Structure 1
Amino acid sequence: MSTKGYVAASWTADNNKRQIFTARLRILETAIPSPTNPSEEQVKADILLEDPATGQLFAAAPYTIPDVVEQVLDSSRFFAVRVQGEGGRKAVLGIGYEERSEAFDFSVALQEVRKTLGIEDDGKSGGKKPVKQKEPEVKKDFSLKEGETITVNLGGKGRRHNPIPQSPNVGGSGFSLPPPPGGSLLPPPPSAQEVKAQKRLSQNIDPPKPVDDFGFDDGEFGEFQ
């Protein structure tokens, strides 16, 4: 280990001569009921190194702060894990994965554990977070009661408006006058020359003659006694 962190090159030197065990790694979360409030639980997480054949525990690391697991400086497949044995004794074990994808899955799993426990990256929270049990959801009945109806207002969408028919005689002004009754048209007013001609004609017509001018006289029967 250097002042900046752990280096995996020394662990794999001499054809992995320092390798001591091939283990199965598991992350175990345990929920413990709170002694003061039964509705709350305290969750803890442990990293377990077990014998892959028998399942016997080899070492365990209580995951209370992010520093329990540190990634080495020179490889993305190796980590330094701070394990804790009986009596509180502690040791640092170097673990490595053969595949990078497996190492990536391990890092993602630790990130999810930190979210569950409420552990910040700087380790200020102390590692335990009470988790409240979820209250059962109450199912609501949205079915219509007897006599109830649903009104849907579409807001005029989707309606078709029939175009207003226009008269074929409509000009550019946009207005048209109805024809006179009976379909006949009024004669145009007389011109000024026609008016003068009518006046001359009326002046040349002789006035009507009196009755005597028609060749009748009373004769002897002209007067009635």
Structure 2
Amino acid sequence: MESAESLLSVRSVQAGYGPSQVLFDVNLTVLPGQCVSLQGRNGMGKTTTIRTIFGMLPCLKGQVQFRGTRIDEWPAYQIARAGLGLVPEGRQIFPNLTVWENLVATARDSNTGLKNWNLDRVMSLFPKLAGRRNNFGNQLSGGEQQMLAIGRALMTNPVLLVLDEATEGLAPVIRQEIWTALDALRTEGMSILITDKNLKHLLHLCDRHYILEKGVTVWEGDTPQFQADTSLRQRYLAT
């Protein structure tokens, strides 16, 4: 699915770690205001794809375009400044900074027509953080850390929010809080690219889906198409 109005376009991307190639032909598109899932079993290239989009790994072949501009040769800091916000796998918050300090450390004014994200809006989205604003990152539960990681990304006022394993390892009640927050973001027009293992919530949240198998995009389609093809889960997602 290609469009001149694509927000993010990944085309025929190859990448890897040193001599070990992981991505062989990855293709995906995110349109403005769209929520897109990137799916596949463990080790199929989802995190590598995200790291390549963000310039943390070199793109060996192919192209990554963001808002119509090729970014696959840009340094990571320049890509982040362009309007991509990352919630990385493992959260990677600053353990020796308070919740407040974690949030203000990444704050940047919006370059979009959407509402600016600030401390009050993040605390409103995640009320648990409001009561923990003076606690250090390493004093938070895993769920609170994930809320903080999402809030930190939002404080950059991203054009596209990217979440790698959005609810991995979290208690069910916390997972639901995260999905509720993501649904609120989607409703107000935030563009989202997400990986997660909770297919039920991905199908509810996302407009379009891409599946990776051994570093190759092997399927793409919208939610009704995914639900209609009952073989997809067994072929590409079952462990």
Q: If the TM-score is normalised by the length of the shorter chain, which range does it land in?
A: under 0.3
- TM superposition score normalised by structure 1: 0.22
Considering fraction of residues, name the structure with more strand. Answer: 2
- TM-score, normalised to structure 2, is 0.21
Q: Per residue, is there more helix in 1 or in 2?
A: 2
